[in-house]
């Protein structure tokens, strides 16, 4: 992801935007990787959001509230991070059915449809 629409892509600034969006997701809500990408101003970059998350986040940044759009966790099922993410979501009151959260019922709905702009 070195270029975006023919312009240099500031990866550090983009990461900050993604982390800022993730930090805004309130307890009890979830967002998809694609939704986070859109809110950060990078529509269509869901996989890149996953890459940012894979670099490691702290509990305080709300990383565990970011899921696949189908409600599944995006981490390998047997991994310690998957177990931790699931436990954190259950602690926030989420119920899993067939390893999924009903993302439509718990999706974070920001007050505006506009992407985050600094």
Report domain extents, the chain: 10-106
* Residue 117 confidence (pLDDT) above 60: no
Contacts of 64 (CB under 8 A, 6+ apart): 84, 85, 88, 89
44 has a pLDDT exceeding 70: yes
- The least confident of 42-56, 75-89, 103-117 is 103-117
pTM for this one? Answer: 0.84
Question: Is the pLDDT confidence value at 111 over 80?
Answer: no
Give the model's confidence band at 4: pLDDT under 50 very low, under 70 low, under 90 confident, else very high: very low
pLDDT at 89 over 90: yes
DSSP state of 61: G
Q: What would the mean pLDDT of 77-99 be, rounded to a whole number? A: 94
**Domain covering 10-106 in this structure, CATH number:** 1.10.10.10
Q: Band of the pLDDT at 118, cuts 50, 70, 90?
A: very low
Backbone φ/ψ region at 87: left (φ over 0), alpha (ψ -120 to 50), beta: alpha
The average pLDDT across 79-105 equals: 95
Q: What is the mean pLDDT of residues 40-50?
A: 94
């Amino acid at each position: 992801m070195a270029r975006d629409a023919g312009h240099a892509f500031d990866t550090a600034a983009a990461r900050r935007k993604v982390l800022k969006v993730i930090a805004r997701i309130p307890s009890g809500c979830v967002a998809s990787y694609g939704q986070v990408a859109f809110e950060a101003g990078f529509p269509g970059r869901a996989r890149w959001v996953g890459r940012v998350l894979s670099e490691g986040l702290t509990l305080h940044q709300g990383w565990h509230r970011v899921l696949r759009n189908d409600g599944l966790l995006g981490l390998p099922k047997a991994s310690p991070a998957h177990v931790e993410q699931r436990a954190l979501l259950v602690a926030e009151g989420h119920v899993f059915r067939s390893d999924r959260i009903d993302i439509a019922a718990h999706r974070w709905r920001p007050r505006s449809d506009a992407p985050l702009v600094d």
